[in-house]
Amino acid sequence: MNSVQEPVNTDNLSPNQSSGDINLLNFDRKGLAAFFVSLGEKPFRATQLLKWIYQEGAEDFNLMSNLSKSLRSFLQTNCHITVPEIVVEQIASDGTRKWVLQTRCGNRIETVFIPEEGRGTLCVSSQVGCALACTFCSTAQQGFNRNLSTAEIIGQLYVAQKRLGSETRITNVVMMGMGEPLLNFDNVVAAMNLMMDDFAYGLSKRRVTISTSGVVPAMYRLTEVCDVSLAVSLHAVTDVLRNELVPINKKYPLQELMDACRENAKIAPRRTITFEYVMLKGVNDSMDDARGLIKLLKTVPSKLNLIPFNPFPNSLYTCSSKDTILRFKNLLNDAGIVTTVRKTRGEDIDAACGQLVGKVQDKSRRHLKLKVIGSESAA
């Protein structure tokens, strides 16, 4: 074991690792342990550092008193703890908060906190933009820029919890923000590992949910490496319509998607897969569509969330009527499929499902509370 005065071994560091640009938030516990071993340190240093960062909120390595002096000095010189910066915060009339965050390279992403009685859910982004081009989603209309790093993903939780303070606890995380999480597989999995790690945020695997539009190979891979709750953006019961609404269906059609869902369900038989279904007037909201859902979901342990469509500029769609949604819901519930209608939250600040675009429009006429952090103006 290293004594407190033993120097850190830097022989195995690559040039970029000795440049002072190692963001320690990019490592989950396994990765951090490997990093410390490469320095000649013991793997348990990883758990010590995780506790300092995520449980104590420490950003100054000199305050990490149970690390050796030489290790603290090395970390201070070569590493950093950097998260996206809040440039705009909006608070909706229902208490929903949306933060526009800016990364080190200047990209902007959006993160949403939804307070409810007994729980607080954070909706986290995984990419800058999205490449899947789902026609009912505002994020998809912005195109794709890049994947977020693990630090930029877990950094959203880090920033949100610090901003909310100790009196408001984030109990649930859903990977349902900007982007398709399974197209940024490794970084997303590492971030979710940190969310569930007892030495970091310690969230239950039932309280961490990853949403996918149906990247089938990655769904199979996920069952092998990370046991989290799964949500699937379904939105149609035929390949013809789903090809239009969710174009990735052309590559991985419904039969393949449902096979992957059944395989995922085997790893946690008591857990259900959540299917998301946006309600589009005259498109996918007929009683025949409801009966198609009953047939499609009958072999998968599932629950269904009906999502009233949230409009955005130049959208092709309108939301189904309340009566239509209620009849749709009742038919599914009567068939034994647990079906709920998701309550629209944060619509007055464009924080509702499908409205995140990485920018802020002027909504001052809609009676929201807007706070600009620092000197930055809205994008």
CA gap 266, 300 in Å, rounded: 10
Q: 237-243 long-range CB contacts below 8 Å, 24 or more apart?
A: 237/284, 237/289, 237/292, 237/293, 237/295, 237/296, 238/292, 241/283, 241/284
Q: Which of 123, 137, 319, 353 is catalytic?
A: 353
Asked if residues 92 and 112 have their Cβ atoms less than 8 Å apart, the reply is no
CA angle 146, 148, 150 (to 5 degrees): 150
Give me the amino acid identity at 345. Answer: R
- CA-CA distance, 172 to 115, in Å (whole number)? 10
Annotated catalytic residue, options 41, 89, 110, 276: 110
> Does the annotation count 226 as an active-site position?
no
The verdict on whether 353 is a catalytic residue reads: yes
Instruction: Give the chain's end-to-end CA distance (angstroms, integer).
Output: 51
How far from 73 is each of 50, 78, 90, 214, CA to CA, in Å? Answer: 17, 9, 39, 46
Residue 229's H or E segment, with its range, is strand 229-233
Instruction: Please report where in the chains the tokens 């509370």 appear, as a residue.
Output: 369
Type of residue numbered 8: V
Q: Would you name the residues annotated as active-site residues?
A: 110, 353
